[in-house]
Protein backbone atom coordinates (compact mmCIF):
# COMPACT_ATOMS: atom_id res chain seq x y z
CA UNK A 1 0.00 0.00 0.00
CA UNK A 2 1.21 3.58 -0.55
CA UNK A 3 2.86 5.22 2.45
CA UNK A 4 0.54 7.22 4.68
CA UNK A 5 1.28 8.77 8.08
CA UNK A 6 -1.30 8.79 10.88
CA UNK A 7 -0.82 11.16 13.83
CA UNK A 8 -2.86 10.46 16.96
CA UNK A 9 -3.90 13.17 19.39
CA UNK A 10 -3.48 10.43 21.95
CA UNK A 11 -5.03 12.00 25.04
CA UNK A 12 -8.09 13.01 23.03
CA UNK A 13 -8.52 9.38 22.02
CA UNK A 14 -7.96 7.73 25.38
CA UNK A 15 -10.36 10.17 27.05
CA UNK A 16 -12.93 9.26 24.38
CA UNK A 17 -12.23 5.55 24.94
CA UNK A 18 -12.62 5.96 28.70
CA UNK A 19 -16.02 7.59 28.42
CA UNK A 20 -17.15 5.39 25.54
CA UNK A 21 -16.41 1.97 27.02
CA UNK A 22 -18.00 0.95 30.36
CA UNK A 23 -15.58 1.23 33.28
CA UNK A 24 -17.08 -1.97 34.67
CA UNK A 25 -14.53 -3.69 32.41
CA UNK A 26 -11.71 -4.43 34.82
CA UNK A 27 -8.88 -6.82 35.36
CA UNK A 28 -8.95 -9.37 38.19
CA UNK A 29 -7.58 -6.95 40.81
CA UNK A 30 -10.34 -4.43 40.05
CA UNK A 31 -8.25 -2.00 37.98
CA UNK A 32 -10.33 -0.59 35.11
CA UNK A 33 -9.05 -1.29 31.61
CA UNK A 34 -11.79 0.29 29.50
CA UNK A 35 -9.57 3.09 28.15
CA UNK A 36 -6.81 0.62 27.23
CA UNK A 37 -9.27 -1.62 25.41
CA UNK A 38 -10.99 1.26 23.66
CA UNK A 39 -7.78 2.90 22.49
CA UNK A 40 -6.37 -0.33 21.08
CA UNK A 41 -9.57 -0.97 19.16
CA UNK A 42 -9.49 2.58 17.81
CA UNK A 43 -5.91 2.16 16.60
CA UNK A 44 -6.66 -1.19 14.98
CA UNK A 45 -9.68 0.19 13.15
CA UNK A 46 -8.19 3.55 12.16
CA UNK A 47 -4.93 2.18 10.79
CA UNK A 48 -6.82 -0.44 8.80
CA UNK A 49 -9.64 1.74 7.48
CA UNK A 50 -7.37 4.63 6.47
CA UNK A 51 -4.41 2.64 5.24
CA UNK A 52 -1.77 3.96 7.63
CA UNK A 53 1.72 2.63 7.07
CA UNK A 54 3.32 4.94 9.65
CA UNK A 55 1.89 5.93 13.02
CA UNK A 56 2.90 8.33 15.79
CA UNK A 57 1.01 8.52 19.07
CA UNK A 58 1.59 12.19 19.86
CA UNK A 59 1.83 12.78 23.60
CA UNK A 60 1.17 15.70 25.96
CA UNK A 61 4.51 16.03 27.73
CA UNK A 62 3.03 19.29 29.03
CA UNK A 63 -0.73 19.67 28.55
CA UNK A 64 -0.68 23.32 29.72
CA UNK A 65 2.71 24.86 28.86
CA UNK A 66 3.77 27.69 31.13
CA UNK A 67 4.69 29.93 28.20
CA UNK A 68 1.08 29.80 27.04
CA UNK A 69 -0.21 30.42 30.58
CA UNK A 70 2.15 33.40 30.96
CA UNK A 71 0.46 35.00 27.96
CA UNK A 72 -3.14 34.08 28.88
CA UNK A 73 -3.46 33.03 32.56
CA UNK A 74 -6.93 31.56 31.99
CA UNK A 75 -5.59 29.10 29.43
CA UNK A 76 -7.07 25.70 30.44
CA UNK A 77 -7.23 26.97 34.04
CA UNK A 78 -10.58 25.27 34.66
CA UNK A 79 -8.90 21.90 34.06
CA UNK A 80 -6.14 22.30 36.67
CA UNK A 81 -6.32 19.90 39.59
CA UNK A 82 -3.08 21.05 41.20
CA UNK A 83 -0.55 23.78 40.43
CA UNK A 84 3.02 22.45 40.52
CA UNK A 85 5.85 24.98 40.67
CA UNK A 86 8.55 24.26 38.12
CA UNK A 87 6.70 21.32 36.55
CA UNK A 88 3.58 20.80 34.44
CA UNK A 89 0.39 21.39 36.42
CA UNK A 90 -1.69 18.34 37.27
CA UNK A 91 -4.72 18.02 35.00
CA UNK A 92 -8.14 16.95 36.21
CA UNK A 93 -8.24 13.31 35.13
CA UNK A 94 -10.61 10.71 36.62
CA UNK A 95 -8.73 8.32 38.91
CA UNK A 96 -10.09 5.39 36.91
CA UNK A 97 -8.41 6.80 33.79
CA UNK A 98 -5.21 7.99 35.45
CA UNK A 99 -4.37 4.47 36.58
CA UNK A 100 -4.64 3.21 32.98
CA UNK A 101 -2.19 5.64 31.36
CA UNK A 102 0.94 3.62 32.31
CA UNK A 103 -0.80 0.51 30.92
CA UNK A 104 -1.48 2.37 27.69
CA UNK A 105 2.18 3.34 27.39
CA UNK A 106 3.25 -0.24 28.10
CA UNK A 107 1.01 -1.76 25.42
CA UNK A 108 1.96 0.85 22.81
CA UNK A 109 5.64 0.17 23.49
CA UNK A 110 5.22 -3.60 23.14
CA UNK A 111 3.26 -3.09 19.91
CA UNK A 112 6.13 -1.05 18.47
CA UNK A 113 3.99 2.08 18.15
CA UNK A 114 6.01 5.29 18.28
CA UNK A 115 5.12 7.65 21.15
CA UNK A 116 6.52 11.15 20.76
CA UNK A 117 6.16 14.17 23.03
CA UNK A 118 8.14 17.38 23.48
CA UNK A 119 9.12 19.18 26.66
CA UNK A 120 7.05 22.30 27.38
CA UNK A 121 4.68 21.52 24.52
CA UNK A 122 1.35 19.83 23.92
CA UNK A 123 0.57 16.92 21.66
CA UNK A 124 -1.01 19.44 19.25
CA UNK A 125 2.44 20.97 18.71
CA UNK A 126 3.95 17.56 17.99
CA UNK A 127 1.12 16.90 15.52
CA UNK A 128 1.63 20.32 13.93
CA UNK A 129 5.35 19.79 13.44
CA UNK A 130 5.07 16.35 11.88
CA UNK A 131 2.08 17.35 9.74
CA UNK A 132 3.87 20.43 8.45
CA UNK A 133 7.07 18.65 7.44
CA UNK A 134 6.08 15.11 6.47
CA UNK A 135 6.83 14.13 2.90
CA UNK A 136 3.89 11.71 2.74
CA UNK A 137 0.11 12.11 3.09
CA UNK A 138 -1.05 12.69 6.67
CA UNK A 139 -4.18 11.83 8.64
CA UNK A 140 -4.51 13.58 12.00
CA UNK A 141 -6.90 11.80 14.36
CA UNK A 142 -8.44 14.07 16.99
CA UNK A 143 -11.61 15.34 18.59
CA UNK A 144 -10.02 18.80 19.00
CA UNK A 145 -11.04 21.35 16.39
CA UNK A 146 -7.88 23.40 17.09
CA UNK A 147 -6.06 20.98 14.82
CA UNK A 148 -8.19 22.07 11.86
CA UNK A 149 -5.50 24.70 11.32
CA UNK A 150 -3.10 22.02 10.00
CA UNK A 151 -5.50 20.82 7.28
CA UNK A 152 -3.92 21.41 3.89
CA UNK A 153 -5.20 19.85 0.67
CA UNK A 154 -2.07 20.91 -1.21
CA UNK A 155 0.08 18.79 1.13
CA UNK A 156 -2.51 16.01 1.54
CA UNK A 157 -3.00 16.72 5.24
CA UNK A 158 -6.50 16.02 6.55
CA UNK A 159 -8.15 15.48 9.95
CA UNK A 160 -10.10 12.38 10.95
CA UNK A 161 -12.47 14.08 13.39
CA UNK A 162 -13.81 11.96 16.23
CA UNK A 163 -16.09 14.46 18.00
CA UNK A 164 -19.26 12.60 16.99
CA UNK A 165 -17.88 9.20 17.94
CA UNK A 166 -16.08 6.40 16.16
CA UNK A 167 -19.24 5.42 14.30
CA UNK A 168 -19.56 8.93 12.86
CA UNK A 169 -16.03 9.89 11.87
CA UNK A 170 -15.62 12.94 9.63
CA UNK A 171 -12.78 13.37 7.17
CA UNK A 172 -11.99 17.08 7.27
CA UNK A 173 -10.33 18.65 4.23
CA UNK A 174 -10.10 22.31 3.18
CA UNK A 175 -13.72 22.20 2.04
CA UNK A 176 -14.79 20.69 5.36
CA UNK A 177 -13.30 23.55 7.36
CA UNK A 178 -14.89 26.12 5.05
CA UNK A 179 -18.21 24.30 5.28
CA UNK A 180 -18.19 24.32 9.07
CA UNK A 181 -16.80 27.79 9.78
CA UNK A 182 -16.66 29.79 6.53
CA UNK A 183 -12.89 30.23 6.92
CA UNK A 184 -9.92 28.49 5.31
CA UNK A 185 -7.75 26.19 7.46
CA UNK A 186 -4.95 28.78 7.40
CA UNK A 187 -7.41 31.29 8.87
CA UNK A 188 -8.67 28.98 11.58
CA UNK A 189 -6.24 30.13 14.31
CA UNK A 190 -7.20 33.77 13.72
CA UNK A 191 -10.86 32.78 13.74
CA UNK A 192 -10.46 30.92 17.05
CA UNK A 193 -8.59 33.89 18.51
CA UNK A 194 -11.42 36.26 17.65
CA UNK A 195 -14.36 34.13 18.74
CA UNK A 196 -12.60 32.53 21.72
CA UNK A 197 -12.94 29.01 23.04
CA UNK A 198 -14.37 28.38 26.49
CA UNK A 199 -13.06 24.80 26.49
CA UNK A 200 -9.50 26.18 26.43
CA UNK A 201 -10.14 29.23 28.62
CA UNK A 202 -9.71 31.66 25.72
CA UNK A 203 -12.01 34.67 26.20
CA UNK A 204 -12.05 35.89 22.60
CA UNK A 205 -13.14 39.40 21.67
CA UNK A 206 -16.29 40.41 23.52
CA UNK A 207 -19.16 40.88 21.09
CA UNK A 208 -17.52 38.96 18.24
CA UNK A 209 -18.96 35.49 17.74
CA UNK A 210 -18.59 32.82 15.09
CA UNK A 211 -20.42 34.60 12.28
CA UNK A 212 -18.80 37.99 12.82
CA UNK A 213 -15.32 36.48 13.13
CA UNK A 214 -15.81 34.59 9.85
CA UNK A 215 -17.18 37.66 8.08
CA UNK A 216 -14.28 39.83 9.23
CA UNK A 217 -11.73 37.29 8.03
CA UNK A 218 -13.58 36.85 4.75
CA UNK A 219 -13.21 40.58 4.19
CA UNK A 220 -9.70 41.14 5.55
CA UNK A 221 -7.98 37.77 5.19
CA UNK A 222 -5.90 37.73 8.37
CA UNK A 223 -6.04 39.05 11.91
CA UNK A 224 -3.08 41.33 11.20
CA UNK A 225 -4.85 42.83 8.20
CA UNK A 226 -8.03 43.21 10.25
CA UNK A 227 -6.22 45.08 13.01
CA UNK A 228 -4.48 47.29 10.45
CA UNK A 229 -7.86 48.18 8.97
CA UNK A 230 -9.23 48.90 12.44
CA UNK A 231 -6.39 51.35 13.04
CA UNK A 232 -7.34 53.28 9.89
CA UNK A 233 -10.13 55.64 10.85
CA UNK A 234 -10.98 56.14 7.19
CA UNK A 235 -10.98 52.46 6.31
CA UNK A 236 -14.72 52.02 6.42
CA UNK A 237 -14.87 49.63 9.38
CA UNK A 238 -17.86 50.16 11.64
CA UNK A 239 -17.26 52.06 14.85
CA UNK A 240 -18.76 49.17 16.80
CA UNK A 241 -16.30 46.59 15.50
CA UNK A 242 -13.40 49.01 15.86
CA UNK A 243 -14.35 49.62 19.50
CA UNK A 244 -14.58 45.88 20.25
CA UNK A 245 -11.16 45.24 18.77
CA UNK A 246 -9.66 48.20 20.64
CA UNK A 247 -11.09 46.97 23.93
CA UNK A 248 -9.44 43.60 23.35
CA UNK A 249 -6.09 45.01 22.21
CA UNK A 250 -4.03 43.45 25.01
CA UNK A 251 -5.61 40.03 24.45
CA UNK A 252 -5.14 40.23 20.66
CA UNK A 253 -1.44 40.98 21.14
CA UNK A 254 -0.77 37.66 22.87
CA UNK A 255 -3.58 35.30 21.88
CA UNK A 256 -2.31 34.32 18.42
CA UNK A 257 0.88 32.89 19.96
CA UNK A 258 -1.22 30.80 22.34
CA UNK A 259 -3.73 29.62 19.74
CA UNK A 260 -1.38 28.83 16.86
CA UNK A 261 0.05 25.35 16.90
CA UNK A 262 3.83 25.14 16.95
CA UNK A 263 5.18 23.69 13.71
CA UNK A 264 8.95 23.79 14.16
CA UNK A 265 9.80 21.56 17.13
CA UNK A 266 13.00 19.54 17.04
CA UNK A 267 11.56 16.03 16.94
CA UNK A 268 12.95 12.64 15.95
CA UNK A 269 12.43 11.83 12.31
CA UNK A 270 9.79 9.25 11.51
CA UNK A 271 12.56 6.72 11.00
CA UNK A 272 14.26 7.63 14.30
CA UNK A 273 10.93 7.43 16.13
CA UNK A 274 10.17 4.01 14.66
CA UNK A 275 6.93 5.21 13.10
CA UNK A 276 6.67 2.58 10.39
CA UNK A 277 4.11 -0.03 11.39
CA UNK A 278 5.16 -3.67 11.34
CA UNK A 279 3.97 -7.03 12.66
CA UNK A 280 4.78 -7.77 16.30
CA UNK A 281 6.77 -10.96 16.81
CA UNK A 282 8.90 -12.81 19.30
CA UNK A 283 9.01 -11.83 22.96
CA UNK A 284 7.01 -8.63 22.44
CA UNK A 285 4.10 -10.54 20.90
CA UNK A 286 4.20 -13.17 23.63
CA UNK A 287 4.19 -10.48 26.31
CA UNK A 288 1.27 -8.68 24.68
CA UNK A 289 -0.71 -11.91 24.55
CA UNK A 290 0.16 -12.59 28.19
CA UNK A 291 -0.97 -9.10 29.23
CA UNK A 292 -4.16 -9.48 27.21
CA UNK A 293 -5.08 -12.38 29.45
CA UNK A 294 -3.74 -10.91 32.70
CA UNK A 295 -5.32 -7.48 32.16
CA UNK A 296 -8.62 -8.71 30.70
CA UNK A 297 -8.10 -6.87 27.45
CA UNK A 298 -10.42 -9.22 25.61
CA UNK A 299 -10.03 -9.20 21.84
CA UNK A 300 -8.50 -5.70 21.72
CA UNK A 301 -4.91 -6.92 21.68
CA UNK A 302 -5.77 -9.61 19.13
CA UNK A 303 -7.41 -7.05 16.83
CA UNK A 304 -4.40 -4.74 17.12
CA UNK A 305 -1.99 -7.57 16.36
CA UNK A 306 -4.08 -8.61 13.36
CA UNK A 307 -4.06 -5.03 12.05
CA UNK A 308 -0.29 -4.85 12.43
CA UNK A 309 0.13 -8.26 10.78
CA UNK A 310 -1.22 -6.65 7.60
CA UNK A 311 1.94 -4.48 7.49
CA UNK A 312 4.17 -7.21 6.11
Average pLDDT for 255-260:
98
Residue 224 scores a pLDDT above 80 = yes
Average pLDDT for 194-212:
95
pLDDT in tens, 292-309: 999 999 899 999 999 999
Beta bridge partners of 291: none
pLDDT at position 236 is 79
The pairing of strands 170-172 and 157-161 is antiparallel
Residue 312 scores a pLDDT above 80 = no
pLDDT in tens, 45-100: 999 999 999 999 999 999 999 999 999 999 999 999 888 888 888 899 999 999 99
Which residues are CB-contacts of 233 (< 8 A; sequence separation ≥ 6)? none
Of the candidates 160, 137, 136, 156, which has an alpha carbon nearest to the alpha carbon of residue 148? 160
Residue 280 dihedral angles phi and psi, to the nearest 5°: -95, 130
Burial of 94-123, coded b for 16+ CB within 10 Å and e otherwise, reads eeebeebeebbeebbebbbbbbbbbeebbb
CA 61 to chain centre: 13
Q: Given pLDDT bands bounded at 50, 70 and 90, which one contains residue 252?
A: very high
The pTM for the full model equals 0.96
Average pLDDT for 244-270:
97
Residue 195 dihedral angles phi and psi, to the nearest 5°: -85, -15
Which residues are CB-contacts of 69 (< 8 A; sequence separation ≥ 6)? 75, 76, 77
Question: Could you give the count of Cα atoms lying within 13 Å of 4 in the half-sphere of its Cβ?
Answer: 16
Amino acid sequence: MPDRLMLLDTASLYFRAFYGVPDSIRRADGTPVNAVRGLLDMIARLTTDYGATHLVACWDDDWRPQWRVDLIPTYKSHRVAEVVAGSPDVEVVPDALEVQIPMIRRVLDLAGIAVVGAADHEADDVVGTYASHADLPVDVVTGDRDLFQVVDDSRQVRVIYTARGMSNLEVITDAGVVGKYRVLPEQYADYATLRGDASDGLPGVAGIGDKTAASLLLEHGTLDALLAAAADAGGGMSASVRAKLAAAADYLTVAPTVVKIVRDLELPTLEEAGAQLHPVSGEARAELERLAAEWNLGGSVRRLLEALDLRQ
